[in-house]
């Protein structure tokens, strides 16, 4: 018997009582080397049921904010794929300012939670080192479907070294969208704001646009947008369908 899970490794077969064998087949990167493709090449993934369910749930929540509707040919939750999920994000971005895009993501995130969840989170996870490290550990398996493989790393927060960092090897969302504005407005800034202001646990995200990796640091207060290096980031001229090569800064960040 095989069970699907979210991490990228395949766990060894384990025999339970009665002599039956169970293994956990984990959906993930389909590249031969098992790691993200080099910059300039698109990483191939093999998504399982859980990944598709998460994509579909988020896409359906975001769809009501999109500029136009897409074909309703596939309505089942498990029919969603990552390209369609990213397409919904792009249509949400169209015609909205940076702050309006962030507000949409905030509303979507809140709609995914039960009533009173932020207040309960604050009680369970006050802004301590333990809470920061615990949430970093949870990020690796539970957000694999969105950003690709990652690992917990040691970082320094307020002069203290702790394992509350997450290194995303090559962000799947940025890789598939090819859009700096989507990365910043619909992932980095709203996620930072949600954890910092809704959950009360500071979070800073530092995307690296040279190799599409990203560092998440739980426990670290994010900088103001105007003081953040991403505010001066230009478009991906060869990747983004709405890139403006004549502007030194991505127009979606202005």
Residue 119, domain member (yes or no): yes
Residue 195, domain member (yes or no): yes
171: containing domain: 29-66+78-225
Q: What is the mean pLDDT of the chain?
A: 86
Specify whether the backbone of 40 is left (phi greater than 0), alpha (psi in -120 to 50) or beta: left
The domain that holds 191 is classified in CATH as: 3.30.1380
Residue 138, domain member (yes or no): yes
pTM: predicted TM-score of the whole model, two decimal places: 0.85
Q: What is the pLDDT of residues 122-176, one digit of tens each?
A: 999 999 999 999 999 999 999 999 999 999 999 999 999 999 999 999 999 999 9
Residue 167, domain member (yes or no): yes
Residue 248, domain member (yes or no): no
- Which residue blocks in 14-97 are alpha helix, DSSP H? 49-63, 82-93
Residue 243, domain member (yes or no): no
Contacts 24+ apart (CB under 8 A), 42-45: 42/175, 42/176, 43/148, 43/170, 43/172, 43/175, 45/82, 45/148, 45/172
Q: What is the pLDDT of residues 46-95, one digit of tens each?
A: 998 889 999 999 999 999 998 765 544 455 556 678 999 999 999 999 88
Task: Please state, in angstroms and rounded to a whole number, the distance separating the CA atoms of residues 195 and 188.
Answer: 11
Q: Is residue 234 within 8 Å of residue 249, measured between CB atoms? A: yes
Residue 42, domain member (yes or no): yes
Q: How many domains does the chain have?
A: 1
Task: Please state, in angstroms and rounded to a whole number, the distance separating the CA atoms of residues 179 and 224.
Answer: 21
Q: Environment class of residue 210 by beta-carbon count within 10 Å: exposed (0-12), middle (13-18) or buried (19+)?
A: exposed
- % of the chain beyond a pLDDT of 90: 70
Bridge partners of residue 208, in order along the sequence: 213
């Amino acid at each position: 018997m095989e069970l699907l899970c979210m991490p990228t490794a395949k766990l060894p077969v384990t025999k339970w009582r009665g002599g039956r064998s169970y293994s956990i087949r984990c959906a993930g990167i389909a590249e031969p080397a098992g790691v993200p493709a080099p910059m300039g090449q698109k990483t191939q993934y093999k998504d399982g049921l859980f990944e598709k369910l998460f994509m579909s749930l988020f896409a359906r929540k975001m769809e009501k904010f999109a500029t136009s509707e897409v074909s309703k040919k596939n309505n089942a939750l498990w029919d969603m794929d990552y390209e369609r999920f990213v397409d919904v994000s792009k249509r949400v971005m169209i015609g909205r300012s940076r702050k309006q895009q962030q507000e949409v993501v905030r509303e979507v995130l809140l709609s995914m939670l039960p009533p009173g969840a932020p207040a309960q989170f604050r009680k369970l996870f006050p802004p301590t080192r333990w809470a920061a490290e615990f949430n970093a550990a949870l990020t690796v398996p539970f957000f694999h479907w969105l950003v690709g493989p990652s690992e917990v790393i040691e970082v320094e927060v307020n002069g203290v070294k702790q394992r509350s960092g997450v290194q995303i090897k090559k962000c799947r969302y940025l890789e598939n969208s090819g859009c700096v504005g989507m990365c910043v407005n619909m992932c980095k800034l709203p996620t930072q704001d949600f954890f910092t202001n809704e959950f009360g646990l500071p979070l800073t995200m530092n995307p690296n646009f040279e190799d599409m990796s990203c560092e998440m640091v739980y426990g670290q207060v994010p900088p103001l947008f105007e003081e953040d290096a991403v505010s001066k980031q230009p478009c991906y001229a060869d990747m983004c369908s709405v890139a403006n090569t004549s502007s030194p800064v991505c127009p979606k960040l202005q």
